[in-house]
Amino acid sequence: MELSIHLPTLLLLSVTINLMVGGLLWLVYRLRDRQSCFRLWALACVTFVAGSALAGARTVIDVPLVTVLAAHLCLGLSPWLVLAGIHNLLGMLLVGGGKSSRVLVACGVLYVTGLLVSHAGDALVPRLLTALWSALVFSVAIYRLASCARTPRLPFQILQTIFGIHGILMMLQVIVIGTSEWEMVGLDVDAVLTLILAHHLMLATATVMALPLLAFTQAERNLKLLAERDELTQLLNRRAFFQQGIAAFEQARAQQHTLTVLMIDLDYFKEINDQWGHEVGDSVLSFVATIMTEELRDGDIIGRIGGEEFAAVLNTGGRREVEAVTERLLRKIAERGKWMDGRPLNLSASIGGVAISTQTHSFNDMMRLADSAMYQAKEKGRNRVQFSASAHAESC
């Protein structure tokens, strides 16, 4: 089996590209408020280059401690740094209490121990260990990327694909090295390993070029969340709530689905601020936001639209189900808000609701009717639910 790949040229090209990309990532790190993931990815490029250079020096010097042990430690550290950078970007712990973390740590210890024991012997053994370690790291990276529910998914899918091919190539390298002792007829081990290395170098370059795409899309996502979220409660702010509410209204009307809008206002909230201070008032608002998030469904739209006023859009559910939800909200607020941080706050809320009907020509109509129903609930004694009679009766 003959290959026309000139390995020194390939290594030199890969080293050059990784140095350039590593320098770019380091520059981005310096320019983007020193975002740690870019520093880790830049170091991954540096360690990959160092490992490749040390391994290539084997033809010039015969010092296994440098050309084998140090080289493979660098090559093994590179994918780990890539994985660490991904975790840093996503706000995840690289080494936590999970099973995959324990496996990663245990295998890392075995990998380093194996290199220490074998670096002065057969040169294929360290290559096998590094290939196994890299395949494991790429597998963990795929798992962690798949378990992250963030959007957009395209950068995650690109990296998962690259890591998947990485892992397959590393396992293929393990198989080739493991079967080399069998003297399989027609198999040129060095040629096959050179071909695998060529593809691995190209994939490594593709990886470090794809990582900034993931970082920039997540930065854009975070900026969008900041623009859409209320800073105190992390619920949708008024503008974002109305945008999503209008879209939900148009969809429900087009598909003739049920839709209910709720307005929730805390009772006597001004008195809480006056008596206990605005810091306690902020804690109350965050507390109510947490209850709403816990009690409503993932598909429901929840927002803080001003002061102590909250609103929600329930995309499904008939009258009885909606009434059960609102009664549960009132009960949770009253039970859990009776005392907060040792203070007798005796929280309660008034809720107004309206269901989509022929009388609700727009989402603004529904908000207006729900708001009117909420004030009726306050007039009737507070700590209660009041539905807009005409619209809700017609929808049921």
> What is the per-residue pLDDT across 47-66, written as a single tens digit (0 to 9) for each?
988 998 898 888 888 899 99
pLDDT value of residue 369: 94
Domain 238-395 belongs to what topology?
A: Alpha-Beta Plaits (3.30.70)
Residue 305 pLDDT more than 60? yes
**Alpha-carbon distances, residue 361 vs 257, 311, 353 (angstroms):** 14, 19, 16
0.85 surpassed by pTM: no
pLDDT value of residue 318: 79
Surface-to-core class of residue 107, CB atoms within 10 Å of its CB (0-12 exposed, 13-18 middle, 19+ buried) = middle
Tell me the average pLDDT across 341-355. Answer: 91
CATH C-level class of 7-226: mainly alpha
pLDDT value of residue 331: 93
Residue 204 pLDDT more than 70? yes
Domain boundaries, the chain: 7-226, 238-395
Question: Got the DSSP string for 299-348?
Answer: TSEEEEEETTEEEEEE-S--HHHHHHHHHHHHHHHHHHTSSBTTB-----
